[in-house]
Chain A
Amino acid sequence: MKYWDIINIRNNEYYRWQINDLNFWLYRDNSEWIIGYKYKKNQKNELIYNRIDKKPKNAEWVQILANTDSNNIQIAPGQPDLPIMIKSKRYLYIMPGNSITYYIKIPVYIHINSMQKNNSLNLFSINSKKISKTWFGDPTSKKGILSYSSEAILEKDLLKIDYNYGMIICPLKIINKSNNKFNFSALNIQTQFLSVYEMNDFLMSETIVYNIKKNSKIDINIKNNSFNKKDSTLLSKPREKFNKNMLEKILLL
């Protein structure tokens, strides 16, 4: 069974998942769904799913009333609920006339969905890792954006990435057509415009293309060409329809 497949759960039994640092439990009592969660550092970098006998201790619990006929649920990986600001661990300069694709990792946002005949009902959503937050923009202005913050080493070789299954790989293609060197210190990734695909045991998103023009203006686009769509399965759609103007406006904050 694949981790993100639809599974059938029984009434009055506890099920446990572990994805990144998030441990969560699901218990169904007919129309009532009880979900518990707790964050604990996951050293082994593995995903766990099993059925357990006892109610776990020291977890936060939520109780959801949803009268559904189906016993099928899906744990769907999605993009985080806020944009994510990626800071490079090393200063990166891209000289004029150069272009490159770097890969970064984004922790999945978990959606617990009750799967019905024609649609799915989202019961609960939660981050799979506790990520610190940051303010992108001027603190004395309302124009800034609250974002997650993460430091990353930019890898140009996909196979060299220290990958675990609770992470989404997002390719960033940077093309510098200007006459100035491009200084990459931080980029705000607008996750609301990205999907999550599963491909050969990897979770991937579309490629974000940063095209630095001759006049040093940056043109941003989201492209699907980073991998062959035939070999991949769409697991979650973008939360918002792609808005190019908004992306560029955000970059210029």
Chain B
Amino acid sequence: MDFIKNDLIRNSAEALIILVFGWIILRLFLIIIEKIIKKKFPIQTSILIKKIIFYTGWIIIIMGILNTLGIKLSVVLGAAGIVGIALGFAAQTSVANIISGVFLISEKSFTIGDIIQIDDITGVVDSIDLLSIKIKKFNNQYVRIPNEKIIKSNLINITKYPIRRLDLNLGIAYKEDPEKVKSILLDIAKKNEYVLDNPEPVFAFNNFGNSSLELFFGVWFQTQEYIPTKNSIMFDIKKRFDKEEIEIPFPHVTVYKGSESEPFQIENIGKK
């Protein structure tokens, strides 16, 4: 009995040593790897590589501990195989997310710190993980989006390029001169401190709408200056239109009553 007891203590001590040293070696290895891959790969790829090394390292440590404690790995792996089949059915979504995550990382359509829009969610990418990405919305909400959903959705990377265009759809009353409005809008863009001179602003006479002449006006600005550009250009347009007495109509319907109709002629033919 003492022999068994001593053996158990010795094995447990060995397992503890494997755990402690394995953990220290893994940590050191991760620090070295981080320094190497940081310069060579984008941030999301280096995070992924680190995670793969981390999980693989822990699997090796656990296998080492089990081996030291005398638990046969073949039995564990056999049991794991059966459990794995059962889990496989249950974990289909997770696997799909992992595969989607790998595709997302290899596509490089966005990176940590980019502002992206997926469906109605817009925010800054906080992390890209194997199962999901995390987004910080501008109202300080934290959103987790499964990778599979991102692969299936239309994703807009708002900060991909250093400059972008602010598209404005404007309506003016039918009585206004669209050519005069065009020159006013171009002048507003020229004087606005956030609007870039080049690429030049875009103007288009879009349509004869139900209640207004529909115009399109697009101005280029630095991507990070979206809010100041939008606010200042909107204020500038409103102030200038008011000054120039250019009417921005609200939707209206003209109802035509028509002419009064004569009453039907009724003749009482009575009884003959």
Q: Which residues of A contact B (CB under 8 A)?
A: 85, 130, 132-136, 139-142, 144, 146, 149
Q: Residue of A at shortest CB range from B192?
A: A132
Q: Residue of B at shortest CB range from A148?
A: B197
Some 8 contacts from A to B, beta carbons below 8 A apart, are A132-B190, A132-B193, A132-B197, A133-B196, A135-B163, A139-B199, A141-B161, A149-B198
Residue B68 at the A interface, CB < 8 A? no
Question: Which residues of the other chain, B, contact A85 by a CB distance below 8 angstroms?
Answer: 198
Q: Is the CB of B162 within 8 A of A140?
A: no
Question: Which residues of the other chain, B, contact A149 by a CB distance below 8 angstroms?
Answer: 196-198
Which one of A135, A140, A141, A142 contacts B196 once the chains associate, using CB atoms below 8 Å?
Answer: A135
Q: Is the CB of A142 within 8 A of B190?
A: no
Q: Residue of B at shortest CB range from A136?
A: B198
Residue B220 at the A interface, CB < 8 A? yes
Q: Is the CB of B198 within 8 A of A142?
A: no
Which size bracket describes the interface of B in this complex? 10 to 19
Which one of A132, A136, A139 contacts B161 once the chains associate, using CB atoms below 8 Å?
Answer: A139
Q: Is the interface of B mostly helix, strand, loop or mixed?
A: loop
Which one of A134, A139, A142, A144 contacts B197 once the chains associate, using CB atoms below 8 Å?
Answer: A134
Residue B222 at the A interface, CB < 8 A? yes
Question: Which residues of the other chain, A, contact B220 by a CB distance below 8 angstroms?
Answer: 135, 139
Question: Which residues of the other chain, A, contact B197 by a CB distance below 8 angstroms?
Answer: 132-134, 149
Give per-residue flags for B193-220: 1 if the beta carbon is below 8 A from chain A beta carbons, else 0. 1011111000000000000000000001
Interface centre among B163, B197, B220 (most CB of A within 10 A): B197
| A130 CA / B190 CA spacing, docked (Å) | 12
B83 CB to nearest chain A CB (Å): 48
| A144 CA / B161 CA spacing, docked (Å) | 10
| A146 CA / B195 CA spacing, docked (Å) | 12
Q: Residue of B at shortest CB range from A147?
A: B198
Q: Is the CB of A139 within 8 A of B163?
A: yes
Q: Is the CB of B162 within 8 A of A142?
A: yes
Q: Is the CB of A130 within 8 A of B193?
A: yes
| A89 CA / B91 CA spacing, docked (Å) | 67
Q: Is the CB of B161 within 8 A of A134?
A: no
B114 CB to nearest chain A CB (Å): 13
Question: Which residues of the other chain, A, contact B198 by a CB distance below 8 angstroms?
Answer: 85, 134-136, 149
Question: Which residues of the other chain, B, contact A144 by a CB distance below 8 angstroms?
Answer: 162-163
Question: Which residues of the other chain, A, contact B196 by a CB distance below 8 angstroms?
Answer: 132-135, 149
| A135 CA / B219 CA spacing, docked (Å) | 12
Question: Which residues of the other chain, B, contact A142 by a CB distance below 8 angstroms?
Answer: 161-162
The 7 closest A-B pairs by CB, nearest first: A134-B198, A134-B197, A149-B197, A135-B163, A132-B197, A134-B196, A135-B196
| A85 CA / B196 CA spacing, docked (Å) | 12
Q: Residue of A at shortest CB range from B190?
A: A132
B269 CB to nearest chain A CB (Å): 84
Question: Which residues of the other chain, A, contact B161 by a CB distance below 8 angstroms?
Answer: 139-142
Known: A144-B163, A146-B163; 4 extra A-B contacts, CB below 8 A, are A133-B193, A133-B196, A135-B198, A146-B162
Question: Which residues of the other chain, A, contact B162 by a CB distance below 8 angstroms?
Answer: 135, 142, 144, 146
B64 CB to nearest chain A CB (Å): 47
Q: Is the CB of A133 within 8 A of B199?
A: no
| A130 CA / B198 CA spacing, docked (Å) | 17
Interface centre among B161, B193, B198, B222 (most CB of A within 10 A): B198
